[in-house]
Amino acid sequence: SSTLVFPLLHISAISIGAAFMTIYGYSFIDTLFEATSAAGCVGLSAGVITYSSPLPVKLVIIVLMLLGRVEYVQLFLLMGYLGGKKLLKVIR
């Protein structure tokens, strides 16, 4: 059903973000906590993210924070609006 799309998308984003951060040697439980905290805009940390964290790890956290704060409906509306303008330019 369409009501499950957003929770599944949110859980998928958190899981993919946590799995990506494990590539850099962090434990999955700690990265799952960090990803969930970032996506929920909570601010709690397990100590994974520090000033010396690799840039890709920081970028994953930034994206999760934006997705959690902006949420997916507005993001989809923006993408549809911008994509619609591009489609109109191509059609004309």
* CA distances, 36 to each of 51, 64, 85, 91 (Å): 20, 8, 34, 41
Chain centre to alpha carbon of residue 32: 12
- Percent of the chain topping pLDDT 70: 89
Q: Which domain holds residue 62?
A: 2-91
- Percent of the chain topping pLDDT 90: 49
pLDDT at position 6 is: 82
Domain count, the chain: 1
Angle at 88 between CA 83 and CA 90, to 5 degrees: 95
Please give the model's pTM, rounded to 2 decimal places.
0.77
* CA distances, 57 to each of 33, 64, 69 (Å): 14, 11, 18
- CATH number at 24 reads 1.10.287
Q: What is the pLDDT of residues 36-81, one digit of tens each?
A: 999 998 988 888 888 999 999 999 999 999 888 887 777 777 777 8
